[in-house]
Each structure stands twice: as C-alpha cells, then as structure tokens.
Amino acid sequence: MSGQELPELPGELEEFLDKPYGGLFGNTVLAQVVEEIVADPTMDYRPGYLEEMTGKKAPSIREALKTLVKLGLIENVSSDVQHPVYRVVVESKKFIALSLLAYAVLDDRDGTDCMNTAILDYYNRSLRAKVEPLAVATNYAGEWTTGEDCSAREAESEYSIFSVGA
C-alpha cells in the first residue's frame, strides 16, 4: 500500500460495506452474482463456484445466471447442458457501466480516483479514434510563407504546418 491514510468510513455507511455495489441494489442473489463476475471478468464461471462464493442455493444461482444471459451480460460457452460454463461478455456496454459503477462505489467510500482512471482508459481504447480528428484544416486568409519563415512560425505554433502543391 502507498502508506496514505484513507478517510474513515462514516458509521451509517458500515451496514452497506459488505453489500454488492455499496447496497445500491440491495443484497439480492442477482446483485451478488453480478458483483462476482464484474470483479473478475476473465474467469469462466460455473454455478457451483458462484454458489460457494455467494453462499446462495443452486436454484437461485441458476435463475440469476439465466437472467444475466437474457440481458447479454454473460454467455454460456459450454456445449454440455448438464455442466454450463459462463463467460462475461466484456464488450457489453452493461458490463462497462457496471465496472465503472463498482469503481465509483470504491471512490466514494475510499476517496480514491479509480473511476476516472477507468474512464480515461475506456476513452483511449474505445472512443478516441471515433471522436478526435486525424487532421485539422482551416481556411487561411493570410499570407503564405515558405522556407525559413514557415519553420519559425511552426516552432511558435502547437500545430505542424505543411503545404500541398498541385
């Protein structure tokens, strides 16, 4: 750890400490399963493992998994009907939003900055190429320069100056 002292958790929030997403969705089986799969999206999940991790019974775990498959948050990657194996659909916007929410709960509780880091990472990986221009063109009404004059202006500017001739 960094040796930094974290703020003390207010007493009224202690009851939510062990609940999924800080108690936002209650303490349902579905919320517990979602918390587990968001915490480690690279793992393949079997119902028995989730029963063990949540302390819930097989029928309620199966129902939660069935719901999450319908919602497109997980998929069954096993061809064996008797022994299903589930994997998180990490491309799902729901998964991304739930991950950011998990970071937000941590940030609010611990005074950290995890969500902003995750948002920046998501932006750089998924959005930057879609929203930032590759080049900027302007209608220049001034005088055109070449050679040394151009190099001097380029050094003062944050933009690279180039010319195209016909």
Instruction: Please report, for the domain that includes residue 98, its CATH number.
Output: 1.10.10.10
The answer to whether residue 126 is domain-embedded is yes
**What is the pLDDT, as a whole number, of residue 68?**
98
Backbone angles phi, psi at 87, to 5 degrees: -130, 140
- Domain range holding 99? 11-131
Backbone angles phi, psi at 76, to 5 degrees: -85, 115
The answer to whether residue 164 is domain-embedded is no
The answer to whether residue 114 is domain-embedded is yes
Backbone angles phi, psi at 67, to 5 degrees: -65, -45
| 1, pLDDT greater than 50 | no
The answer to whether residue 153 is domain-embedded is no
Backbone angles phi, psi at 23, to 5 degrees: 90, 0
Mean pLDDT over 55-59 rounds to 96
CA neighbor of 107 nearest in space, from 19, 20, 21, 2: 21
**What is the pLDDT, as a whole number, of residue 106?**
87
**What is the pLDDT, as a whole number, of residue 117?**
95
The answer to whether residue 166 is domain-embedded is no
Confidence category of residue 5, pLDDT binned at 50, 70, 90: low
Mean pLDDT over 40-46 rounds to 96
The answer to whether residue 116 is domain-embedded is yes
The answer to whether residue 5 is domain-embedded is no
| 27, pLDDT greater than 50 | yes
Domain count, the chain: 1
Mean pLDDT over 148-153 rounds to 57
> Which of the pair, 161 or 82, is modelled with greater confidence?
82
**What is the pLDDT, as a whole number, of residue 166?**
43
Confidence category of residue 84, pLDDT binned at 50, 70, 90: very high
Angle between helices 29-39 and 47-54 (to 10 degrees): 110
The answer to whether residue 156 is domain-embedded is no
**What is the pLDDT, as a whole number, of residue 36?**
94
